[in-house]
């Protein structure tokens, strides 16, 4: 019975002890979580921004705000060799303790007590991470804090992640932190490419960062490295063969500088955030284009042209593989650190291909459509061509090849400028999207803001069958939606026009085209000759070139044709020399038909001069040509009749080409002979119900400001019907002057409201009203 009592008391004592132990553990657990809430882990780290090329090689990097090179080692960069070496040296029981190794703590305590000094530490890898995250004076309290932080780390992170933190925080002297920064700066390698000897070398530096400096104390480092290698061999961490190879490996490393390639793009990507940013830059091509650009601009400085920017897109991947922001990043004479590829500038005529492509898709035009290139006035807006000349009848192809402004403005007016703005906004033209309410017809001549990045991305859609895919600058640009800019047929027509060599914007004295790949290109020059553009493409690449001055100062010789295009050609010659790449083929939705060469319309039986033209079936206009009209004439052909006034007999019929009033005026002004329809029967009354003269200047409803000191006269012009020879001008209901149809007149108006009337020789009248103010200008 006594034995049973003793067993019973023993069980009760054990249960009581277990209960107390459980309560202690529970209490400690509750205390840990409470302290964890009160004192959260300071694990927010700032890493150096690293920029790499398309092969993963470092091309640029930036210090952290505390001026450290702390480059993030990713989990996939921790090789088995690196992991084994670090754990064998620093914490062989890393995977078996909860952050604190109690046996190591006890061992260190007794060693230090008996020797009366610190001879042995008990810090695990986890505790070293805790100390790096929260540095401070080393004493008993800091050690307790390290242990608590170690438990927090083990609770929050996996062992692999804690090892990653250690490798990112371990100090290597100076301002180098982490194995990746050390590997790149000392060995020019990523951590996963380090050898056993190199890893062992890096593992011993943190213990003696002052006395063991790579590049300064290499002999001492080799001695200490070999000591640890032999210890690894004794502990059977590595094979004898591995150790033998590591011992034989020479060590002549020294600290290198961080590279600073692609500086403009690197700065731009850094602002977007991220630790490791992998770009698509082809570094070899980048450096070749940079040198070519620098050398080219050095020559152009004699013409007061100091800068250039280049963007190259791989059309197969839609990735930006070359990005040059200026002719020299460190050149302070014209703001070399300004990013010319990202700067908003006036695009000149570079948007015209998109405009005509949209007109093709709307059925408004075809390449063979004929327009008039003569003076126009749209509510006071009077565009002019770059060469200050007018060319009369021109086809769409000719207008685009010669970059004529007036046909482009007419085409935009036909299309509607809102449609062009909508398309550009959808293609990520940010400034145009912001300014859309301010934009009008001048948009197509460069009256807007764009960047070289945006324009090059837009032109890459011409090489992609009319589909726009936003250019990708880094691996972070993984989600990109596509947008059809124009149909394959319209795109093919634009490519065909822009690839023709017989153009006025072909560079003067260019002779290096023998092996140059076939390309399509478009130039542009902004108002005041401040910006010159040339953007070209073939199946492989799209290249955008901007030249000019960041100061905004214009240059007399600056133009897209003679400055930007030669650089474009040189770049294509270099990156795609002697290419045999096939050209764009005619798509199924594009067909060929005969048209009248005089109107660009489907020919009638009276059309004599026919040419072939591309068109889009069921989209392009099928309106027949009505260029020829049979007119009834008097026997002497000095008077014409209509059906209402023609006599019963005694007249003849003759076919005439119908000339628009604006072309009649242009022919007359340029003394170009043409066969005009004879004046109409003066006794015909029906003709008075015809079209009255259209006053084109001054513009109705406009307020004109005139200088009192030097008043300039206002111009009087009008458009009339074919049969009008004379017009009569009236100012405020008082006769002013008689002139020939299409002839310009001038007058100096009085201040205040002014009524201007124009009556033709058939009695038809048109009025406009303006307001005139005089000021001391």
**Does the annotation count 349 as an active-site position?**
yes
Give me the pLDDT at residue 11, please.
Answer: 66
Give me the pLDDT at residue 617, please.
Answer: 96
Give me the pLDDT at residue 332, please.
Answer: 85
Q: For 65-95, what is each residue's pLDDT tens digit?
A: 999 999 999 999 999 999 999 999 988 889 9
Closest by alpha carbon to 336, among 276, 395, 294? 294
List the catalytic residue out of 90, 198, 290, 401. Answer: 90
Cβ count near 139 (within 10 Å)? 9
Q: Please spell the DSSP secondary structure of 427-472, one letter per residue.
A: TT-HHHHHTGGG--GGGGGT-S-B-HHHHHHHHHHHTTTTEE-PPB
Distance CA 211, CA 205 (A): 9
* Residue 493 near residue 353 (C-beta atoms within 8 A): no
Give me the pLDDT at residue 463, please.
Answer: 96
Residues in the chain, pLDDT under 70 = 1-14, 24, 27-28, 31-32, 35-36, 104-122, 509-515, 685-690, 723
Q: For 166-182, what is each residue's pLDDT tens digit?
A: 999 999 888 999 999 99
Distance CA 214, CA 773 (A): 81
* Residue 320 near residue 544 (C-beta atoms within 8 A): no
> Helix, strand or coil for residue 386?
coil
Residues recorded for the chain: 777
Q: What is the pTM of this model?
A: 0.84
Give me the pLDDT at residue 4, please.
Answer: 55
Look at strands 531-537 and 752-760 and give their pairing.
unpaired
Give me the pLDDT at residue 689, please.
Answer: 60
Q: Which residues contact 582 (CB under 8 A, 6 or more apart)?
A: 539
H or E element, residue 33: helix 2-38
| CA dihedral sign of residues 218, 224, 226, 232 | negative
List the catalytic residue out of 203, 349, 460, 620. Answer: 349
Token pair in block for residue 441: 């017809």
Token pair in block for residue 490: 């319209």
Give me the pLDDT at residue 514, please.
Answer: 59
CA distances from 164 to 2, 126, 169, 415 (A): 61, 11, 9, 60
Look at strands 176-177 and 69-70 and give their pairing.
parallel
Give me the pLDDT at residue 120, please.
Answer: 44
Provide the β-strand partners of residue 765: 759
Distance CA 221, CA 203 (A): 11
Give me the pLDDT at residue 32, please.
Answer: 64
Taking the alpha carbons at both ends of the chain, their separation in whole angstroms is 127
Distance CA 419, CA 484 (A): 14
């Amino acid at each position: 019975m006594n034995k049973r009592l003793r067993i019973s008391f023993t069980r009760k004592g054990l249960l009581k002890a277990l209960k107390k132990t459980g309560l202690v553990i529970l209490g400690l657990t509750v205390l840990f979580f409470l302290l964890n809430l009160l004192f959260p882990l300071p694990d927010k780290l700032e890493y150096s921004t690293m920029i790499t090329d398309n092969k993963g090689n470092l091309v640029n990097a930036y210090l952290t705000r505390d001026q450290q090179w702390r480059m993030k080692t990713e989990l996939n960069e921790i090789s088995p060799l690196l992991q084994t070496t670090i754990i064998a040296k620093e914490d062989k029981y890393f995977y078996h303790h909860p952050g604190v190794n109690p046996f190591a703590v006890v061992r260190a305590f007794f060693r230090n007590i008996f020797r009366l000094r610190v001879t042995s530490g008990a810090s695990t890898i986890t505790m070293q991470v805790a100390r790096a995250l929260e540095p401070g004076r080393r004493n008993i309290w800091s050690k307790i804090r390290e242990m608590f932080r170690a438990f927090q780390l083990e609770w929050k992170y996996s062992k692999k992640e804690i090892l990653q933190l250690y490798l990112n925080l371990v100090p290597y002297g100076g301002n180098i932190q982490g194995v990746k920064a050390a590997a790149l700066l000392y060995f020019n390698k990523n951590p996963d490419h380090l050898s056993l000897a190199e890893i062992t070398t890096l593992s011993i530096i943190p213990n003696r960062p002052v006395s063991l400096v790579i590049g300064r104390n290499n002999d001492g480092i080799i001695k200490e490295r070999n000591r640890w290698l032999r210890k690894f061999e004794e502990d059977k961490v590595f094979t004898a063969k591995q150790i033998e190879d590591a011992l034989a490996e020479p060590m002549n490393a020294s600290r290198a500088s961080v590279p600073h390639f692609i500086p403009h793009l690197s700065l731009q990507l850094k602002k977007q955030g991220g630790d490791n940013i992998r770009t698509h830059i082809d570094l070899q091509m980048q450096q070749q284009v940079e040198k070519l650009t620098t050398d080219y601009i050095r020559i152009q400085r004699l013409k007061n042209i100091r800068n250039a920017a280049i963007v190259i897109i791989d059309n197969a991947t839609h990735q930006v593989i070359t990005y040059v922001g200026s002719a020299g990043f460190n050149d302070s004479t014209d703001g070399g650190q300004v990013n010319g590829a990202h700067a908003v500038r006036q695009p000149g005529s570079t948007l015209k291909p998109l405009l005509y492509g949209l007109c093709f898709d709307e059925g408004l035009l075809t390449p063979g459509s004929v327009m008039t290139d003569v003076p126009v006035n749209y509510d006071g807006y009077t565009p002019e061509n770059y060469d200050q000349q007018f060319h009369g009848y021109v086809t769409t192809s000719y207008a685009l090849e010669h970059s004529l402004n007036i046909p482009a403005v007419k085409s935009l007016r036909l299309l509607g400028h809102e449609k062009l703005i909508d398309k550009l906004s959808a293609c990520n033209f940010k400034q145009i999207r912001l300014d859309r309410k301010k934009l009008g017809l001048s948009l197509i001549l460069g009256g807007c803001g764009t960047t070289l990045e945006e324009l090059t991305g837009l032109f890459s859609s011409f090489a992609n069958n009319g589909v726009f895919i936003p250019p990708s600058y880094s691996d972070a640009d993984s989600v990109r939606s596509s947008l059809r800019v124009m149909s394959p047929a319209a795109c093919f027509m634009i490519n065909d026009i822009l690839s023709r060599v017989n153009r006025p914007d072909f560079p003067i004295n260019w002779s290096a085209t023998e092996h140059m790949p076939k390309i399509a290109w478009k130039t542009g020059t902004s108002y005041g000759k401040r910006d010159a553009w040339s953007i070209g493409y073939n199946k492989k690449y799209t290249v955008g070139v901007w030249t000019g001055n960041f100061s905004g100062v214009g240059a007399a010789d600056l133009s897209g044709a003679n400055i930007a295009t030669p650089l474009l050609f040189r770049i294509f010659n270099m990156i795609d020399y002697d290419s045999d790449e096939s050209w764009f083929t005619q798509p199924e939705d594009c067909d060929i038909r005969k048209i009248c060469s005089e109107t660009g319309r489907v020919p009638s039986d009276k059309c004599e001069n026919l040419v072939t033209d591309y068109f889009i079936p069921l989209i392009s206009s099928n309106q027949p040509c009505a260029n020829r009209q049979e007119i009834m004439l008097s026997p002497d052909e000095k008077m014409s009749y209509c059906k209402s006034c023609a006599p019963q007999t005694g007249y003849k019929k003759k076919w005439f080409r119908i000339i628009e009033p604006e072309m009649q005026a242009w022919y007359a002004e340029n003394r170009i002979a043409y066969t005009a329809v004879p004046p109409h029967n003066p006794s015909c009354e029906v003709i008075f119900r015809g079209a009255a003269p259209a006053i084109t200047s001054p513009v109705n409803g406009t307020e004109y400001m005139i200088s009192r000191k030097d008043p300039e006269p206002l111009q009087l012009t009008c458009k009339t019907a074919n049969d009008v020879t004379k017009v009569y001008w009236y100012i405020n209901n008082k006769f002013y002057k008689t002139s020939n149809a299409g002839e310009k007149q001038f007058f100096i108006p009085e201040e205040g409201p002014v009524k201007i009337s124009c009556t033709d020789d058939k009695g038809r009248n048109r009025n406009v009203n303006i307001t005139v103010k005089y000021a001391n200008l």
